Structure 1
Amino acid sequence: MSTIQRDQLFRASCLSLLVTSLSFGIRAGMLDKLGVDFQLDKAQLASIASVAFLGFPIAVVIGGFIVDIIGMKKLLVLAFLLHLAGIILTIFAGGYWTLMISTLCIGLANGTVEAACNPLVASLYTTEKTTKLTHFHLWFPGGIVIGSLIVLLFDKLGLSWQIQVGVMLLPTVIYGYLFSKLDFPVTERVAAGVSTAGMYKALANPLFIFMFILMFGTAITELFTGQWIGVLLKNVTENAILLLALTNGVIVLGRAFAKPILRAITPQALLFVSAVLSAMGLYMLGHFEGTAVFAGAVIFGAGVCFFWPTMLGFVNTNIPATGALGLNLMGGAGMFAVSVYTIFMGDFYKSLEASASSPIEAGRAILNATLVIPVVLIVAFGALVLFMKSRNKAEPLAEVTV
């Protein structure tokens, strides 16, 4: 480990995740423009958006199976090449199918980043995994905020969506260069000498299976709503894209204070509170108007803030033998669920828009349908809190500072 520059690897990882999140933020802000420029309906836009979520689980699951074999560095070089190809293809897209292909490339790149960087962070910070994974994942909402503001600024300046997408080229080139120059550790499972058979046995643990299933709900609640909020609420407020920026700004702030929060509350209790706040915020977004919608966005942001990194940190801390594959199966499950849900809701939105007496009703109907998910999560995470208490695991799980 003497040649491993831990902090530089962590910063480069954050930059690669920034590119991933910029792709979400910028694409969420330009979905309507793509529809106008290429004459695409809501179902087609949903299909394009869903491909990014579909490419992600494909890459993250394949990456999970091979990262221990080929190493994290090679995966991140591949992520760089896929990001580069996806950005360039998007800029020069000519219609539905070229947008689908370019979005797939970006989705594969995003999944490859997650496949390599989650085990990398866990390997670099073995005694504070949940905190550092949360700090790492701060850059996902951070990039969405930046991307949303770029969309707003460039729209005001009259600049095209192609230029907005081109902004992602600079951080992509920088992270590709940084990773090419740095040495990498082996994954934590390899370093600990846990066998492949031992890893697969750990994946059959009922607690892992339970968390794997719940990852569907946490990911849909956070990412589907975030990706589509500008479309769903465009008739409720003139600044729907600001709702996206506000929500993710709250997430950035919350994740920045992950260490003191996780010292005060166990990860399983934090997941329960997150589900309650997510349900409250989603209800407000679906029922309120005017300024109250922005209050709903704040509460919703506080709710989804810790979902993704805490789910990963909880699994890797409590079932460490699952290793990089366990982390990546969790991420793949989440993104796959979002992909399927986005396609389904795109068709649902199209039918609602045609039948609703007001466009507002269609967007709110989607949000109210999605509200069922965090309500179910409240019950599930409540059960998790009780289960972990029965195992005498009430203390914060991974908060020893190194």
Structure 2
Amino acid sequence: MSNASSAATPKEFHRMALLIASFMTLIAAGVGFGVRAGILNDWAVRYGFTKVELGTITGGGLVGFGVTIIFFSFLADNLLGYKKLLVLAFALHVLSVIITLAATPVYGFAGKEGTYWCLYIGVFIFALANGVCEAVINPLVATLFPKEKTHYLNILHAGWPAGLIIGGIIGFLFCGEGAFITHLPWEVPLALYMVPTIIYGIMVVKEAFPPSEAAAAGVTTKEMLLQFLSPLLLFLFVIHAMVGYVELGTDSWITNIMENVISKYAFLLFIYTSSIMFVLRFFAGPIVHKINPLGLLFVCAIFGCTGLYWLGAAQTGWAIVAAATVYGLGKTFFWPTMLGVVGERFPRGGAITMGVMGGIGMLSAGLLGGPGIGYKQDYFATQKMEQLDDALFQQYRSADKKSFLFFPAVYALNGAKVGVLKDDGAELARRTEIETKDDTLSPETKELNAWWAANKPANEEQYKHEVEVVEEANIYGGRMALKWTAIVPATMGVCYLLLVIYFQMQGGYKQVVLHGEESETEQYTGGVEGPVE
């Protein structure tokens, strides 16, 4: 066994350099995700997207993330190898920024629909790159540190909230109308995720990589696939779909929702909750070592449910911070501890069960979380605005109704029209001037100018009324979306309680060990053995 370990990590492999490169892939993913959360309003105002459309764009990225993790988990160990896949991820990251930044030029000649697909494809390719990274970095770090897997995998996955913090700071300083320094065009802050991307790309090309540890373990692909016959594993997959919805789905929207309530300070709130997650993940092993992982998950579900509902109801600044703290504490341990449970109870599943687990979470966030929370905002905002001023709602509603799953189709507030109202047509005038000068005046810009000419408030009093009604409707929609989302962690709590009871009937929760004695660090039941975010 010692020979296998030494063969897995020979001296010529620079373990810390590969760990840093892996860490940088998560920072790149987090920066891109964090900045994008701050520029959704820019996209709504600039291109006229509704909340559902924005949710579908961001959700598409999570779908690509999930599919890619699952697919490349089958290839990482024995077929393509770690280095080739990370080079592929680097190429996809570069391609994603090129396609995404092409959105504005495309808008000039292809209009809103062309821009929608440009952004969707760009975000999707960005997610593909992140998915390829996730399929590699977890088994890679486990191979590099075979006796300290839990410790170093938790350090690795602190890179995700670190990226969110960096992205949140960039957003606070440079994104949105309330940017602390200046409001830069959205293309500038978004492109900054290329900095960690270039760093990890150079390191990957330069460094040598160890062979896979999975091949040395002697577990066949057939044995891994047989694990999927377990009802317990399938139940864990269902719960993890809810984790993806409530964690990543909410994170896709939280800054946008809270901007309507606390303006530019929404970015600081996002940074704050990400900081909680960043710090605590360094201590996940020792914390979970002292408590049953399912018990911890049950407590986290209570915190998550309470925090989300409270965040949707909080009115004052301190109440919002307290609610965000409770929510941040709840979401911190969901993802890694769930993966730890799968790794401990189904070690024969190897990278495949971990890849499927992470992929299901991402698919749920993309297909359900992003669009679903966007739909809830549109649904409740339009209800509120119809109550406040139905005639005004008819002016600002979208042209078409949008639906989600089996829920009824509803009109939404048109993001472009709301944006014109908020700045009294200043951005529209600037855009019209630029497009006229470049001879690229789009049909959407012409239509928006015609609408504004016909519906511009007649006086200051009317202007204030319209702004107040629209803002109140948006705030109400966001608050109600958070409150209804709290149902998801509440359901998770029930599921975790059922698992606690089940394992108590089985004599208690115990880790399944493939062979030999587990290392001291592997006694921590919250270890991460697969894709996190």
The TM-score normalised by the length of structure 2 is 0.72
Identity %: 36
Q: CA RMSD in A?
A: 2.0
Which residue matches 2:376?
348
Deviation at residue 394 of structure 1 after TM alignment: 4.6
Moved more, 256-265 or 388-397: 388-397
Counterpart check, 1:400 vs 2:520: yes
Deviation at residue 363 of structure 1 after TM alignment: 0.7
Partners of 2:486 and 2:148 lie apart in 1 by 33
Partners of 1:123 and 1:314 lie apart in 2 by 20
CA offset digits 1:46-103 (Å, max 9, x no partner)? 1111111111012111111221221122221111111111122222322222111111
Count of aligned pairs? 402
Partners of 1:316 and 1:73 lie apart in 2 by 24
Task: Check whether the contact 1:189–1:321 (CA below 8 A) recurs between aligned residues.
Answer: no
Which residue matches 1:82?
92
Gaps of 5+ in 2: 1-8, 105-114, 386-472, 513-517, 523-533
Moved more, 123-132 or 179-188: 123-132
Moved more, 97-106 or 306-315: 306-315
Report the residue type matching 1:336 in the other structure: L
Partners of 1:139 and 1:233 lie apart in 2 by 24
Which residue matches 1:359?
474
CA offset digits 1:323-362 (Å, max 9, x no partner)? 1111110111001001111223323322322221432221
Equivalent position to 2:491, from 373, 376, 385: 376
Task: Check whether the contact 1:26–1:150 (CA below 8 A) recurs between aligned residues.
Answer: yes
Deviation at residue 6 of structure 1 after TM alignment: 2.6
Deviation at residue 391 of structure 1 after TM alignment: 4.4
Deviation at residue 172 of structure 1 after TM alignment: 0.4
In 2 relative to 1, CA 125–306 (structure 1 residues): closer, same or farther, beyond 3 Å?
Answer: farther
Report the residue type matching 2:492 in the other structure: L
Counterpart check, 1:300 vs 2:327: yes
In 2 relative to 1, CA 266–396 (structure 1 residues): closer, same or farther, beyond 3 Å?
Answer: farther
* Structure 1 residues 219-238: aligned runs within 5 Å: 219-238=244-263
Partners of 1:193 and 1:384 lie apart in 2 by 30
Which residue matches 2:60?
51
Equivalent position to 1:386, from 494, 497, 501: 501
* Structure 1 residues 1-400: aligned runs within 5 Å: 1-2=9-10, 3-68=12-77, 69-94=79-104, 95-154=115-174, 155=179, 156-238=181-263, 239-290=265-316, 291-341=318-368, 342-357=370-385, 358-392=473-507, 394=509, 400=520
Deviation at residue 128 of structure 1 after TM alignment: 4.5
In 2 relative to 1, CA 263–338 (structure 1 residues): closer, same or farther, beyond 3 Å?
Answer: same
Partners of 2:184 and 2:328 lie apart in 1 by 29
Task: Check whether the contact 2:227–2:346 (CA below 8 A) recurs between aligned residues.
Answer: yes
Partners of 2:94 and 2:151 lie apart in 1 by 30
SS at match of 1:4: coil
Gaps of 5+ in 1: none
Moved more, 67-76 or 333-342: 67-76
Moved more, 234-243 or 250-259: 234-243
Deviation at residue 127 of structure 1 after TM alignment: 4.5
Task: Check whether the contact 2:38–2:168 (CA below 8 A) recurs between aligned residues.
Answer: yes
In 2 relative to 1, CA 210–31 (structure 1 residues): closer, same or farther, beyond 3 Å?
Answer: same
In 2 relative to 1, CA 386–130 (structure 1 residues): closer, same or farther, beyond 3 Å?
Answer: farther
Partners of 2:228 and 2:498 lie apart in 1 by 20
Report the residue type matching 1:141 in the other structure: P
SS at match of 2:39: helix
The TM-score normalised by the length of structure 1 is 0.94
In 2 relative to 1, CA 66–13 (structure 1 residues): closer, same or farther, beyond 3 Å?
Answer: same
